[in-house]
Amino acid sequence: MELADRLKRLPPYLFAEIDRKKREVRARGVDVIDLGIGDPDLPTPPHIIRALQRAAEDPETHRYPSYEGMLAFRQAVADWYAKRFNVRLDPEQEVLALIGSKEGTAHMPLAFVNPGDVVLVPDPGYPVYAAGTWFAGGEVHWMPLRRQNAFLPDLAAIPAETARRAKLMYLNYPNNPTAAVATREFFAETVKLARSHGILVCHDLMYSELKFDGYEPPSILEIEGARETAVEFHSLSKTYSMTGWRLGFCVGNASAVAGLGKIKTNVDSGVFQAVQYAGIAALTGPQDLSEQYRRTYQKRRDIVVGGLKALGWDVDIPKGTFFVWAPVPGRLDSRRFATRLLEEVGVVVTPGVGFGPSGEGFYRIALTVAEARLAEAMERLKGFRLERLKGFRP
């Protein structure tokens, strides 16, 4: 059976090849340390689980939920935004519940992009930004994220004709995969560009609460005029270790939120109400365990950064996310580097090219394994024979 053309446009899924290689190496009896998956290993806080249990026992939650999300959940989101960012949201018009933020970011082009329209996509970046664009028939214009520019897109480098045709721009700070952060000044420049060209900015704020060394990631909605041209996606997945629960939200420009909501009324039936009650408990309940989790990730970050520096490998110290993004030592090809690490020392990292062409020459480590295993991985890297690999020269 022949696949639709929209699926044929997708690039080969690099991560499937990584999974296949992991199975091969494990089959040989190797103890693999997997630093490739951005899925929290820390458990969901108990009070959130109890809220789900109570709600699931209520027959009223067993019926179809509202498409846009329970008003109580949307109010909890609005209250959280007011407390965290001093951003006031109308829970009825400017907040939409999502089945995880991924489905929202993927569906947004279906609401606003016509075939041939341009979407500005960070490179490297979360693959769903480009995939959602292609599914809607849009054209991707890659915005390279360079280390010399702190992994921020050079907005001035976007060609005028491209900016004129652009309907959407995706941003994501703190950033996956680079762990870079953005300033309010950068967001102000983005809002100015977007307003001048009628571009809807879709900012993925998934990692705002994974913050280190006193850094406080801003919301783009804090910027004057942003409400006219921007929405923000967020999720409970990383802050509260709820990746499997599939609960997120989109907030901001009311027309954009409504457009996405119209897509959702036609493709899904909303979020299970019991999960939304758990989300309310997460957003309004005690935050001490989440704070403890942040400190845990910071300790893990320090183990990895210290280990790489001890090897003489170049690395920046991330201020956010639970990723470390670093240049491949010796400027090697990232795929071959990752393959050799797995085969020679049993450590999995993600090659940067899997996140876009500009990711070549880098690799990503996920801080989602215990400290002892991270320390062991750093120790194993001492046995990696760098000189065996052919150099990469971009």
Percent of the chain with pLDDT over 70: 97
The pLDDT tens digits of the residues spanning 6-19 come to 888 887 777 777 88
Asked if residue 313 is part of any domain, the answer here is yes
Domain boundary among the residues 254, 284, 314 is at 284
- Region 180-200: mean pLDDT is 98
Both tokens of 128, joined, read 């769903």
Distance between CA atoms of residues 349 and 45, nearest Å: 28
Is residue 171 domain-shared with residue 36, that is, in the same domain?
no
Q: Is omega for the bond preceding 115 within 30 degrees of 0, making it cis?
A: no
- Residue position matching structure tokens 């965290």: 84
Please indicate, yes or no, whether residues 358 and 279 belong to a single structural domain of this protein. no
Are 368 and 257 contained in the same domain? no
236 and 305 inside one domain: no
Residues 63 and 205 in one domain: yes
94 domain residue, yes or no: yes
236 lies in the same domain as 316: no
Same domain, 332 and 275: no
The reply to whether 392 falls in a domain is no
* Amino acid 11: pLDDT: 79
**For the residues 363-369, what does the mean pLDDT come to?**
98
| Average pLDDT across the chain, whole number | 94
Q: Are 336 and 379 found together in one domain?
A: yes
Choosing from 253, 284, 315, the residue where a domain stops is: 284
Overall average pLDDT of the 97-103 stretch: 96
Instruction: Supply the Cα-derived Rg of the chain in whole angstroms.
Output: 21
Cα separation, 220 vs 188, whole angstroms: 8
Nearest to 365 by CA among 314, 317, 311, 326: 326
Calpha distance 298→289 (Å, rounded)? 14
Average pLDDT for 260-271: 95
Tokens 């082009």 correspond to what residue?
A: 109
> Looking at residue 38, which CATH number applies to its domain?
3.90.1150.10
Asked, for residue 255, whether it belongs to a domain, the answer is: yes
- State residue 391's pLDDT score: 47
**In terms of Cα–Cα distance, which of 321, 309, 394 is closest to 364?**
321
Q: Count the domains in the chain.
A: 2
Same domain, 99 and 239: yes
Q: In this predicted model, what pLDDT tens digit does every residue of 230-264 receive, in sequence order?
A: 999 999 999 999 999 999 999 999 999 999 999 99
Question: What's the one-letter identity of residue 379?
Answer: E
State how far the Cα of 178 lies from the Cα of 171, in Å rounded to an integer: 12
Check whether residue 25 and residue 169 sit in a common domain. Answer: no
Give the chain's count of helices (H) and strands (E).
Answer: 13, 12
Query: Is 357's pLDDT higher than 60?
Result: yes
User: Counting beta carbons within 10 angstroms of the beta carbon of residue 35, is it exposed (0 to 12), middle (13 to 18) or buried (19 or more)?
Assistant: buried
Of 250, 284, 318, at which residue does a domain stop? 284
pLDDT at 392: 39
Determine how β-strand 139-144 pairs with β-strand 118-123. Answer: parallel
Tell me if 393 is assigned to some domain.
no
Structural domain including 369 reads 5-43+288-385
Q: Using the predicted structure, report yes or no on whether residue 283 has a pLDDT greater than 60.
A: yes
pLDDT at site 331: 72
How does residue 383 score in pLDDT terms, banded at 50, 70 and 90? confident
142/21: higher pLDDT = 142
What pLDDT shows up at residue 387?
Answer: 58
Same domain, 275 and 241: yes
Confidence of residue 30 (pLDDT cuts 50, 70, 90): very high
pTM over 0.85: yes
In this structure, is residue 390 part of a structural domain?
A: no
Asked, for residue 394, whether it belongs to a domain, the answer is no
What pLDDT score was predicted for residue 393? 41
Q: Is 139 helix (H, G, I), strand (E, B) or coil?
A: strand
**184 and 35 fall within a common domain:** no
Provide CB contacts within 8 A for 108, sequence distance 6+: 132, 168, 200, 202, 231, 250, 256, 260
- Write the pLDDT tens digit of every residue in 130-154: 999 999 999 999 999 999 999 999 9
Q: What is the CATH number of the domain that holds 53?
A: 3.40.640.10
Instruction: Specify if 345 maps to a domain.
Output: yes
44-93 pLDDT, tens digit per residue, is 999 999 999 999 999 999 999 999 999 999 999 999 999 999 999 999 99
